[in-house]
Structure 1
Amino acid sequence: MVYLLPFLAIGAGYIIALLISSKKVLIHQYLLSFSGAFLLSITLFELLPEVFESPSKSIGVLIMIGILLQIILDFITKGAEHGHVHLHGDHKDFPWLLFLGLSIHSIIEGFPITENADVLWGVVIHKIPIAVILTIYFIAAEYSKKTTVFFLLLFACMTPLGSFFKNNISVLSDYSTEINAIAIGIFLHVSTTILFESSKDHKFNLMKLTTIFIGVILAYLL
């Protein structure tokens, strides 16, 4: 399940995007808000207490490193991890830089999901709207269907690849707490950015407030 679910989440996002891309609906924005609230809650409820079982200032430093790493990745991807994609139709080269940034993010998020099923669901739910938004923007930028599918297939493999590395490279298991702390920093940055930037002019309507509260409550109940 650790390997399959993140992969299937990208496929689900692709299908949803095809169904709504020709319609003026904002379901992907509500999905994004829900996923941000769910991921943030899972991080606070599950991952954060685990890494602070033995409190240490170094854990805080590593969380900060994760936040700074995600800021760097945002510079590379232009914010694709939290719903901002900027592609241009004047060229159709494969967007390798976007892929590189998303891959680093996805590989790291594949580490903690091997140990915690709730975190796995947090990552899976986060990936669906990201795949929806990527697909919609690829279509809008007039990338070919072949390029879009190829990109999403490669992207879908990255989180399972991170999980595979975690399970099969002993040094990663030895430093599991430290790696999870970095992942926490990444999750905190991505999820809070989604919550604060997913609404126009940083204003929340009733529907988005509702989806956010549902995300928090479901994460708590897991």
Structure 2
Amino acid sequence: MSYILLILSVLLGAILVFIIKPSTKIVRLLLAFSGSYLLSVTVLHLLPDVYTINSDATIVGVFILIGIILQSVLESFSKGAEHGHIHMHTDGKKFPTLLFVSLCLHAFSEGLPIHYADDNLLWAIIVHKIPIAIVLTTFLLHTNYPKKTIFLFLTFFAFMSPLGILLGDKIPFFTIYTTEITALIIGVFLHISTIILFESTENHKFNLQKFIAILLGVLLTIFTL
């Protein structure tokens, strides 16, 4: 079921672009909510779990920091697509291979800890994927890429998180080092979610709607503890 939900989240984001074309304001609110939800799940669910499983707090902390650094590196190739801002200009003649690979790696890594976490992480990633799919689809439609290329791009991207779940459960390496990998993904989530919250505010002014979206993300996590 988790596989289907993750794929549908990307599909939903793409369909929304074709049907209603969400405004920038709506996308920013969705990003704020998803970033808040992802951050809350990471802090209230993943962090306590990973420190409970592994008594060596230093090792856990090191892998979290590695995750933050790793995401910073991936972001230099993805141009910020993971947090809803693709800072990239293209004429559509050359396929954005680095963008594609880094996004797929990110999506794959998101799926790795899902099998060992509760449903809150699954839903946080699903909610996170919807605005990302909206931004990605919008970007691709503004290029000169053939529709077939765009469809293949989105389809491949949609299947990467389910692939992460599958391999995370079946490959011995991922099962043996579950704690370390989860800690690394926590670092990735912390980086992405905080960047989303910082960048979704225009001119760093207080925005009541954004504040409510963030608060809802936090409350949703607390009420599902």
Q: TM-score range by the shorter chain?
A: over 0.9
Q: What fraction of aligned residue pairs are identical, expressed as a percent? A: 47
Matched, 1:120 2:122: yes
1:63–1:182: 8 Å Cα contact kept in structure 2?
yes
Find the aligned partners of 2:155 and 2:58 in 1 and give their Cα distance.
39
Alpha-carbon distance, 1:24 to partner: 4.5
Alpha-carbon distance, 1:57 to partner: 0.4
Equivalent position of 2:43 in the other structure = 44
2:92–2:144: 8 Å Cα contact kept in structure 1?
no
Call closer, same or farther: CA 1:90–1:63 in 2, change over 3 Å.
Answer: same
SS in 2 for 1:178: helix
Runs of at least 5 residues in structure 1 that lack an aligned partner in the other structure? none
Matched, 1:7 2:7: yes
Equivalent position of 2:20 in the other structure = 20
Find the aligned partners of 2:144 and 2:30 in 1 and give their Cα distance.
24
Alpha-carbon distance, 1:36 to partner: 0.2
Find the aligned partners of 1:87 and 1:171 in 2 and give their Cα distance.
35
Call closer, same or farther: CA 1:91–1:143 in 2, change over 3 Å.
Answer: closer
Equivalent position of 2:30 in the other structure = 31
1:110–1:160: 8 Å Cα contact kept in structure 2?
yes
TM-score by length of 2: 0.93
Map 1:143-222 to 2 at 5 A: 143-222=145-224
SS in 1 for 2:152: helix
Equivalent position of 2:74 in the other structure = 73
* Letter aligned with residue 51 of structure 1: V
The count of corresponding residues between Structure 1 and Structure 2 is: 221
1:2–1:114: 8 Å Cα contact kept in structure 2?
no
Equivalent position of 1:138 in the other structure = 140
TM-score by length of 1: 0.94
1:89–1:143: 8 Å Cα contact kept in structure 2?
no
Alpha-carbon distance, 1:164 to partner: 1.0
Find the aligned partners of 2:91 and 2:128 in 1 and give their Cα distance.
30
TM superposition outliers: structure 1 runs of 4+ over 6 Å:
none
Find the aligned partners of 1:139 and 1:202 in 2 and give their Cα distance.
29
